[in-house]
Structure 1
Amino acid sequence: MGKLSTKSASHRALMNFVDWIKPEKETDETIETQADEIRKRLSAKAVQDGLVVRSTPWSGSFAKKTGLRRHMRGKFEVEGQDVDLPFVVSPQSKEGENIHTLLDRFEQYTKESYRDTERNPTKSSIRLSFKKSKLSYDIVPMLAVVGDDKAQVLLRSDGERRLTSVQKHIDFVKKRTAASNLLDGRVKFNEGVRLVKWWRELRQSQSDVLDEVPTILIDLLCAKAFDEYSVNETYTETLSRWFGRIAHIVRERKRVDFNDFKDPSSTRSSDIWTVLDPVNPENNVVPATWTNIKLQEFAKWFEEARDGMARVIAADTADDTAAVFEELVALFGNAIKDHGEAS
């Protein structure tokens, strides 16, 4: 495979496209201001209700700089950004630690604090959606861990309690983004993750088998590909290598683990495929509901993306810009045709 120029049509298209899907600086500033207000209001309600609020750390894709300001909803592009807002609390009783009890309480806090704002309970959060700013905040109650202010217990709707650390998950991604910042060229780890997340949403909207692929799974697969292949000077070659490596990992169901925080070597798993959380290797992030059929579908996604990127490179090498965009549209949707050109 010949080396592509940073002036190639596909690299320029992907570079412009990732700038279009990532949040604007002004939006980041709005989120910081609005999130601070939400924290103050809900924390005050929680304290009045007898909860001890230990912390309200930044979390999720906003903090990792991997978030999207636009999403695919079915066949349509939808403006808006989702932000996770954990509330790490210490209830006064064991009964108060129940996820359903906590969700009920936080739903009441949001109702009292934001009466005219849309609220939707999920399995582990209360989602506040602000129509004017097109921003949604997932209010996630978590339990504090005695003696460790960087650890939390995530409560699941099935009663499971999962030890985690939102701060370490952010550090995990930022470490790789920082490493990519030291390399020549424009391509950064977190921007590669953004592109793969957009591609994931498009595939989900087209699939009858997989309708929800966890973001943390995408994060970890991209991290594994980065650890093995780093990034190239073009987005085209970077994604080609990442898709190819991940396709092999999923098809062969190779175990994925990391030693950033803990040694995972002693962790055993009898699941059909294992991708271990680097913060808590006891946690396999592959959904327990995934069957062989779903895993085969997931592998097929990456194989088709790998093959599609190979065709992009071939078209670029032949200086066939029309074919380049035809292949990119197949991978990333019509939006890349409309927003892949520099404005």
Structure 2
Amino acid sequence: MVKLSTRSRLHSRMSNFVDWIRAGDKDDIIIKQSKEIRERICGQAEADGLTVRSTPNSGSFAKKTGLRRHLQGDSYVEGQDIDLPFVVSPRDEDGAQIDELLRRFARYAQTSYPNTSRTPTRSSIQLDFVGTKLRYDLVPMLAVPGDNFAQVLLRSNGEKRRTSVQKHIEFVTARTGKSNLLAGRVLFNECVRLIKWWREFRVDGARVLKDVPSILLDLLCAHAYDRLEVEETYAGTLSRWFSLLAGTVRKRERVAFSDFSRLPAASGNAVWTVLDPVNPENNIVSQWDKFQVDELAEWLEEGCDSINRAIAADLRGDDVASLESLVELFGSPFKHHCEVKE
């Protein structure tokens, strides 16, 4: 395999695009506003009979995998999620039910921010601030007695699932830290960003695969990193990652990790298995059918073809063809944000 130069036009374009999609221009605002929201909501919860045990950092902001919110033609990228978990110990049984908790947190949000848009979801209350154009998800979770690094996530169907916000953050940031020790500027979390952006432009025209959750992309990227690490260039890295992951998905190979526990025995009950490293009993794709798995494999195969065409064009000095292949991969915003602005 020919190694792409870090001085190539392709690497320069992808580096500029990575810098642009990074949602880092509002970090200070997010930190300040998150602190204020936590204080106000905690005060309301405590007064209402809930004991707030902790409010750990969570979501793509904490993992440093968030995307810039962007509207380009008909292509809309949602941007990074700012999850604000509130790990609580209710004083009565009703307070441990998701419907009741969401009603309470909606009330706390209304009292604390009466002029801010609020939207309930299956497991959170979204707050949209017009001034900063930021969205926060207030996520009530149950504390696990005797374990400060575990929580119970409540689902609208009544399911209660043990998890750990802190360990999910560690899972991603540990790989980013390891990648920082390798040659070149390419980091694990930056590749996750690129894959998440690529996902946004594939879902829009999907046949059956309307939702590819970010946690699945985190795990697939970790699977690729653990086997291949990162190259000195983004294109070289994505070429190998797309190829590996296309084979993994097409062959229904199990994806599992031993970061926090031993690998469990294989189970054949699902079409495909991608295990949550924090809770190996949780198969992230347990509800997927064969058509969804096949479509994801097709996406990855096409992604591999596009990045390899871009590399081949770059090596023969055809900048136009290389750019066209990258636009196929990342959508029209790429051509507008892959060059350094004068």
TM-score (norm 1): 0.97
Which residue is equivalent to 1:270?
269
Distance in 1 (alpha carbons) for counterparts of 2:71 and 2:123? 22
Contact residue 58 and residue 84 of structure 2 kept, 8 A = yes
Which residue is equivalent to 1:14?
14
- Pairing partner for 2:326 from 325, 328, 336: 328
Contact residue 273 and residue 286 of structure 2 kept, 8 A = no
Q: Secondary structure at the match of 1:206?
A: coil
Equivalent residue pairs, number: 341
Which residue is equivalent to 1:299?
297
Percentage of identical aligned residues: 57
Post-superposition CA distance 1:118-157 (Å, at most 9, x none): 1100111000001111100000000000000010000011
Post-superposition CA distance 1:286-340 (Å, at most 9, x none): 151x211111111100010011111111101111100010000001011110000
Which residue is equivalent to 2:226?
227
- Pairing partner for 2:306 from 298, 305, 308: 308
- Residue identity in the other structure for 1:207: A
- Give the deviation of 1:251 after TM superposition: 0.6
Structure 1: gaps of 5 or more residues = none
| Correspondence list, 1:102-113, <5 A | 102-113=101-112
Contact residue 72 and residue 333 of structure 2 kept, 8 A = no
Contact residue 200 and residue 213 of structure 1 kept, 8 A = yes
Distance in 2 (alpha carbons) for counterparts of 1:98 and 1:74? 42
- Give the deviation of 1:9 after TM superposition: 1.8
Which residue is equivalent to 1:57?
56
Q: Secondary structure at the match of 2:317?
A: coil
Q: 45-54 vs 62-71, which deviates more? A: 62-71
- Residue identity in the other structure for 1:257: A
TM-score (norm 2): 0.97
- Give the deviation of 1:268 after TM superposition: 3.0
1:146 aligns with 2:145: yes
* Pair 209,322 (structure 1): closer, same or farther in 2 beyond 3 Å: same
Distance in 2 (alpha carbons) for counterparts of 1:74 and 1:272? 36
Distance in 2 (alpha carbons) for counterparts of 1:158 and 1:77? 30
Structure 2: gaps of 5 or more residues = none
Post-superposition CA distance 1:160-179 (Å, at most 9, x none): 11100010000010110000
Distance in 2 (alpha carbons) for counterparts of 1:258 and 1:323? 39
- Give the deviation of 1:49 after TM superposition: 0.4
Contact residue 54 and residue 90 of structure 1 kept, 8 A = yes
Distance in 2 (alpha carbons) for counterparts of 1:78 and 1:297? 21
Contact residue 256 and residue 263 of structure 2 kept, 8 A = yes
1:133 aligns with 2:129: no
Post-superposition CA distance 1:172-199 (Å, at most 9, x none): 1011000000011010000000000000
Q: Secondary structure at the match of 2:26?
A: helix
